């Protein structure tokens, strides 16, 4: 590089880093996605609101167990909250579809935040045990922020299945990232500050994120005042798909409990985070593919990869080997969830998208609870190594369920949309 008369001259073969990118090269799928007007703003708010989803249960367990000296009570309170969410969440989503995201999500979030604060105060001031159940049950009105974000993408990208595939892949990767970072952040806050810090910070983040998200009215889907009567459950093919999500949730719930038992120490958190990291990376890569895989293909891959932790634990007994196996096994999770949510979107009647996706999430949560209980029983009676067989069995059930209903509308096992 030389100068001549004050003019910068590049030596032969030297490329200016500032102009290294070929201007004629088309942007990648994610760059195109976030060029959609308003997409960055509502995504930022939604990510802030979604992060606490991975914080609340961990924070509640640490807070209640630390104050009352009972993990049984802490587990019972969080289980009761999950049961309340399974009942309330679809109704909240139906109201969102009927009256709009901003009009329903903000007051529903405010009520949920009040429930979290009530739980904090009940623990802090040693209120009777039943008040903990009542307070945590109030948090069931928390809206499905991930579902609302997916509904916005479906509205903005209507008629562009390739871009919608990329958007759904991004949303699944964001889910994995939040559920990977949330528990770590909650545990850090509760240990470094005070036991109630995780719940308090989570409540503030949830309310702030929903307010930012709801303020983006330009990207909000229109309400459907004449939405079809009845639940999306009545749609042909929906019940089998919910069964697939139930079995998939059992994979996640059992894997978590069995891994905690196998690690038997503080290493359990980082090891589980590897599974979420693998899923996050796979989700982003899946969004860049020109064609998505079919549902059965994804479920078959998940069934096969979920056998890796079992083989690693049985063959080596090494936590390091199991950690590596979990990283690889997690790579089947996001593509399966993206494809499954795509099927749910196709099956759900127009104007009921939030409700349809919330039903899928509810089935997933039910499966997580079922898997946790089954995994815990197996670990206690036959050991953690054999417990790794439960996620494999649950994944196989999901695969067989999808295969049994393959001819129903929306359960195509062919390729996904072109991007």
Q: In this structure, which CATH number among 3.40.50.300, 3.30.70.1450, 1.20.1290.10, 1.20.1250.20 belongs to the domain 39-226?
A: 1.20.1250.20
Distant-in-sequence, close-in-space partners of 417: CB < 8 Å, separation ≥ 6: 161, 162, 164, 165, 291, 292, 342
237-285: per-residue pLDDT in tens? 788 888 998 999 888 888 877 887 787 766 777 787 788 888 878 877 7
Tell me the three state secondary structure of residue 112: helix
C-alpha span between 198 and 187 (Å, rounded): 7
For the purposes of burial, counting CB atoms within 10 Å of the CB of 285, is it exposed (0-12), middle (13-18) or buried (19 or more)?
middle
* Spacing of C-alpha 69 from chain mean position: 30
295-349: per-residue pLDDT in tens? 888 899 999 999 999 999 998 888 899 989 999 998 888 888 888 888 887 887 7
Please indicate whether the domains covering 39-226 and 234-419 agree at the CATH topology level. yes
Res. 10 pLDDT band, cuts 50 70 90: very low
Is 63 in contact with 183 (CB distance < 8 Å)?
no
pLDDT of residue 271: 81
pLDDT of residue 293: 64
Res. 14 pLDDT band, cuts 50 70 90: very low
pLDDT of residue 354: 74
Average pLDDT value for residue range 366-382: 80
* Spacing of C-alpha 305 from chain mean position: 20
C-alpha span between 412 and 371 (Å, rounded): 27
Average pLDDT value for residue range 380-403: 88
CA atoms lying within 13 Å on the CB side of residue 331: 14
115-150: per-residue pLDDT in tens? 999 999 998 888 898 898 899 888 888 888 888 888
pTM (global) more than 0.75: no
Give the closest residue to 292 by CA, choosing from 244, 255, 337.
337
pLDDT of residue 407: 55
Q: In this structure, which CATH number among 1.10.15.40, 1.20.1250.20, 3.30.210.10, 3.90.1410.10 belongs to the domain 234-419?
A: 1.20.1250.20
Residue ranges of domains in the chain: 39-226, 234-419
C-alpha span between 96 and 206 (Å, rounded): 17
Is 219 in contact with 38 (CB distance < 8 Å)?
yes
Burial letters 223-241, b for 16+ CB under 10 A, else e: bbeebeeeebeebebbebb
C-alpha span between 132 and 74 (Å, rounded): 9
pLDDT of residue 53: 82
Is 347 in contact with 235 (CB distance < 8 Å)?
yes
Is 144 in contact with 357 (CB distance < 8 Å)?
yes
**Alpha-carbon torsion angle 190, 196, 200, 201, nearest 10:** -10
């Amino acid at each position: 590089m030389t100068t001549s008369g004050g003019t910068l001259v590049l030596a032969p073969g030297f490329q200016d880093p500032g102009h290294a990118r070929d201007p004629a090269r088309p942007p990648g799928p994610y760059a195109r996605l976030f060029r959609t007007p308003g997409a960055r703003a509502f995504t930022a708010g939604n990510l802030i609101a979604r992060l606490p989803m991975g914080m609340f249960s961990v924070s509640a367990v640490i807070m209640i167990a630390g104050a009352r000296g009972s993990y049984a009570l802490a587990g019972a309170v969080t289980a009761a909250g999950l049961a309340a969410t399974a009942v309330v969440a679809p109704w909240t989503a139906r109201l969102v579809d009927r009256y709009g995201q901003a009009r329903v999500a903000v007051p529903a979030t405010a009520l949920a935040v009040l429930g979290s604060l009530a739980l904090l105060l009940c623990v802090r001031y040693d209120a009777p045990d039943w008040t903990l159940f009542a307070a945590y049950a109030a948090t069931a009105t928390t809206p499905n922020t991930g579902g609302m974000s997916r509904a916005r993408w479906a509205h903005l990208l209507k008629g562009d299945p390739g871009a919608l595939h990329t958007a759904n892949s991004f949303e699944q990767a964001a889910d994995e990232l939040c559920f990977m970072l949330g528990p770590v952040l909650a545990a850090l806050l509760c240990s470094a500050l005070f036991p109630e810090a995780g719940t308090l910070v989570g409540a503030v983040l949830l309310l702030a994120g929903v307010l930012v998200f709801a303020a983006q009215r330009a990207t909000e889907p229109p309400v459907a005042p004449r939405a079809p009567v009845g639940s999306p459950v009545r749609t042909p093919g929906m019940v089998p798909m919910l069964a697939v999500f139930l079995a998939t949730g059992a994979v996640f719930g059992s894997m978590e409990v069995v891994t905690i038992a196998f690690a038997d120490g503080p290493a359990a958190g980082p090891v589980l985070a590897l599974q979420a990291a693998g899923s996050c990376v796979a989700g982003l890569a899946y969004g860049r593919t020109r064609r998505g895989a079919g549902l059965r293909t994804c479920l078959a891959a998940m069934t096969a990869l979920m056998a890796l932790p079992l083989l690693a634990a049985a063959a080596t007994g090494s936590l390091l080997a199991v950690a590596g196996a979990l990283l690889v096994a997690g790579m089947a999770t996001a593509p399966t969830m993206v494809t499954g949510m795509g099927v749910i979107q196709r099956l759900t009647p127009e104007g009921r998208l939030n409700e349809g996706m919330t039903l899928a999430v509810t089935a997933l949560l039910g499966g997580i609870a079922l898997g946790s209980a089954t995994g815990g029983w197996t670990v206690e009676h036959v050991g953690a190594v054999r417990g790794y067989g439960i996620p494999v069995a649950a994944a196989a059930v999901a695969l067989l369920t999808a295969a049994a209903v393959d001819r129903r509308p929306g359960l195509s096992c062919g390729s996904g949309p072109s991007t």
